[in-house]
Amino acid sequence: MVELTKANFDAQVTEASGLVLVDFWSPGCGPCRMMEPVLEAVAARHPAVRFAKLDAAANPDIAWAFNVVSVPAFVLFRDGVPVGEIVGAVPARRIEELIAP
């Protein structure tokens, strides 16, 4: 899981080719913490997808740029363009449906 910051967001997400799933989270968010093992399990089953996480509380400008107003939020990027999203804690199946071709 790639840790995103303002310094590496573009290189890792908006300038990247292929699929990147960004987990917008916050340290004080219980549902965000509950999603960590779910995302790790999905990432292990889908090595072709890059999984990354961005602390939305520390980087509100990036979160707002992608209309993230509630966490956890998962935004799927294809070749740097957002193509889908899920808001809230969800089962692994929903994440896998989002990243399915």
Among the options 4, 13, 22, 32, which is catalytic?
A: 32
For this structure, is 32 an active site residue?
Answer: yes
Euclidean distance between CA atoms 82 and 44, whole angstroms: 22
For this structure, is 29 an active site residue?
Answer: yes
Among the options 2, 16, 29, 89, which is catalytic?
A: 29
Contacts of 61 (CB under 8 A, 6+ apart): 6
- In the sheet where 73-78 sits, what is the strand order? 2-4, 50-55, 19-25, 73-78, 81-87
Q: Please give the positions annotated as active site.
A: 29, 32
